[in-house]
Amino acid sequence: MSEMKFILAISFALFFIGAYGFLTRRNMITMLMAVELMLNAVNINFVVFNKYLFAGKLDGLFFAVFIITIAAAEAAVAIAIIINLYRKFKSIDEDDIDTLRW
């Protein structure tokens, strides 16, 4: 079980690295990458729990596969949004893009 804890510690670290990156970075592409890190941390959790706790089942693996698919789609959408924002604001710095407010 210590092996599992070790891997969970990695995913924990990975998730908060992603969260930290998402909060601190201002560049949208970097923020997108940080989101991908968080998604992958979650993926690791699914796989680990499936392997060590429910060895006879495959549900966790399937979830991981779905998340990878959705992450790909999400990346496509996010990049499309970023391109449009760039065309409008000539910038991909999120501080410049604050017109949607009171």
Which positions touch another protein (CB under 8 A)? 19, 22-23, 26, 31, 94-95, 97-102
DSSP string covering 32-60, please? HHHHHHHHHHHHHHHHHHHHHT-TT--HH
Minimum CB distance to another protein smaller for 23 or for 55 = 23
CB of 2 to another protein, least distance (A): 23
CB of 12 to another protein, least distance (A): 13
φ, ψ at 22 (rounded to 5°): -65, -40
Minimum CB distance to another protein smaller for 75 or for 97 = 97
CB of 58 to another protein, least distance (A): 27
Minimum CB distance to another protein smaller for 69 or for 84 = 84
b vs e for 81-100, b when ≥16 Cβ sit within 10 Å of the residue's Cβ? Answer: ebeebeeeeeebeeeeeeee
